[in-house]
Amino acid sequence: MRICIAGKNNMAIAAVKTVLKARLVTRDELWAMCNASDDGIGTFQDSFREFCMSNDIRIVKPADLFAATDLILVSCQYDNLLPVKSFASPHLFNIHTSLLPKYRGAHTCVLPILNGDKFAGATLHVMDHGIDTGPIVDRVRFPIAATATARDLYATVVSAGIRLFRRNIRNLINATYTTQSQIPANASYHSRNAIKYSEVTINLQKTAIEIIRQVRAFTFLEYQVPTALGFRVMAAEMLARRSTRRSGALLEEGASYIDVASIDYDVRLRKFVE
């Protein structure tokens, strides 16, 4: 048997460590597939490529695995859609960073906040020919903190994904897991191009709570912060006064904030300072 962990960052690293610690396979039988964007240099999370190179884990490409009939592959945020039909092994799994079937595809740590969801999570599912459409093996569900940004939610989802891997990997190996089909009526999908983070501007023609959700959803300090009225902002709070000016009006500018009017209540936006 061979196990391949595909993906990036701390989730993929934790998966490899789990396999090694439990001695589920030998080091020679453990492979890794790294995302193309992983240049071997860690950012706010460690580099999966660098970890594998430092620990003598063989790095492979999808084509290296197609003929392996004894393969178990688990994707932990691998960035390309794998050609499932090209694999001889049917034991292909994915840990997706949402509560499937909701939020298939991309932006899974932005949309729950933007939409005011109370809960988020991660899902382990069997891969099929679709995008995050395969039968569900297991899920982890947790509440979204009232002040959570996209970065905060991402960190929590990664932890949930690690939990899923650790409590299911032996069942995947032994084929003792069960599945349930996804419910089409609850499904949604968003492509990578649905949001261009470099161009995100807060829509101020909204209620105060909707403006605050936008700021939280688009704030991921290592990568991007949104803009409002030409200012880069990183946090928002509702003020205890009803808006009397048109929504989007600049009411006041301080050294670290701007106050703006919304549909209902005034909002204080905290400026981003590098």
For residues 101-105, give the mean pLDDT: 98
Provide the angle, in degrees to the nearest 10, between the axes of the packed helices 9-22 and 150-174. Answer: 30
Mean pLDDT of the chain: 97
The CATH number of 2-190 is which of 3.40.190.10, 3.30.465.10, 3.20.20.100, 3.40.50.12230? 3.40.50.12230
For residues 259-265, give the mean pLDDT: 98
For residues 183-191, give the mean pLDDT: 96
The verdict on domain 197-271 having CATH code 3.40.640.10 is: no
For residues 124-148, give the mean pLDDT: 97
Where helices occur in the chain by DSSP H, the ranges are 9-22, 48-54, 111-114, 150-174, 208-217
Given a cut of 90, is residue 199 above it in pLDDT?
Answer: no
3-state SS of 101-139 is CCCEECCCCCHHHHCCCCEEEEEEEECCCCCCCCCEEEE
All structural domains of the chain with their residue ranges: 2-190, 197-271
Quote the pLDDT of residue 4: 98
Pairwise CA distance, residues 114 & 134, whole Å: 26
Quote the pLDDT of residue 53: 97
The C-alpha angle 110, 159, 174, rounded to 5 degrees, equals 120
Given a cut of 90, is residue 256 above it in pLDDT?
Answer: yes
Tens digits of residue pLDDT in 54-65: 999 999 999 999
Would you say 138 and 164 are in contact if contact means Cβ atoms under 8 Å apart?
Answer: yes
For residues 250-259, give the mean pLDDT: 97
Tens digits of residue pLDDT in 22-35: 999 999 999 999 99
Quote the pLDDT of residue 146: 95
Residue 214: count of CB within 10 angstroms of its CB: 23
Quote the pLDDT of residue 176: 97
Quote the pLDDT of residue 213: 98
Quote the pLDDT of residue 198: 86
Quote the pLDDT of residue 274: 79
Tens digits of residue pLDDT in 84-96: 999 999 999 999 9
- Among left, alpha and beta (phi > 0; psi -120 to 50; other), residue 69 is alpha
Would you say 121 and 142 are in contact if contact means Cβ atoms under 8 Å apart?
Answer: yes
Which of the four pLDDT bands, split at 50, 70 and 90, describes residue 233? very high
